[in-house]
Amino acid sequence: MGLLKASAGFKGVRRIGGIARVLIKHGLGDVVERIAGRKDRRVDPSKVKGIPLKPGVLSPRRVRLVLEDLGPSFVKLGQLMSTRADIFPPEYIEELRKLQDRVPPVPITEIQEVITRELKRPIEEIFVKFDQEAFAAASVAQAHHATLPGGERVVVKVIRPGIEKRLREDIRLMYYLADKIEKAFDVGRILAPTNVVREFERTVFRELDMLIEAGSIEKFSHNFKETEEIYIPKVYWDYTTKSVLVMERIDGFKVDQVEEQRAHGIDPKEIALVGLRSFSRQLMEFGFFHADPHPGNVIVMYDGRVSLVDFGITGYLDEEAMRQIANIFLGYAEHDYDMVIEAFLEAGLLDDETIDLESFRIDLKDVSEAFYGRSLQSISVKDVYDQIIQLALKYRIQLPRNLMLLLKTFVQTEALGKIQGSDVSILEFTRPYAKKLLQRGYDAKKMFRNIGRDTRYVGKYAKVMPKFVHDILRQVARGKQRVEIWHEGFQQFDVKLEKGLNRLTVGIVISASILAAALVLNSAQKVLVLSIKFLGLEAVPLTALLGIAGYVIATVLGVWLIISIYRSGKL
Catalytic residues: 292
| Rounded Cα gap, residues 297 and 294, in angstroms | 6
User: What does the chain come to in residues?
Assistant: 571
The contacts of residue 399 (CB under 8 Å, 6+ apart) are: 86, 349, 392, 407
| Rounded Cα gap, residues 408 and 411, in angstroms | 5
Distances (CA, A) of 228 to 271, 304, 305, 401: 13, 10, 7, 32
Question: What is the three-state SS of 323-350?
Answer: HHHHHHHHHHHCCCHHHHHHHHHHCCCC
Q: Distance of alpha carbon 334 from its chain centroid, rounded?
A: 24
The contacts of residue 194 (CB under 8 Å, 6+ apart) are: 175, 178, 179, 182
- Helices assigned H by DSSP within 441-541: 444-477, 493-521
The contacts of residue 351 (CB under 8 Å, 6+ apart) are: none
Helix, strand, coil: what percent of the chain each, to 5? 60, 10, 30
What φ, ψ does residue 253 adopt, rounded to 5°? -105, 145
Q: How far apart are the first and last CA of the chain?
A: 74
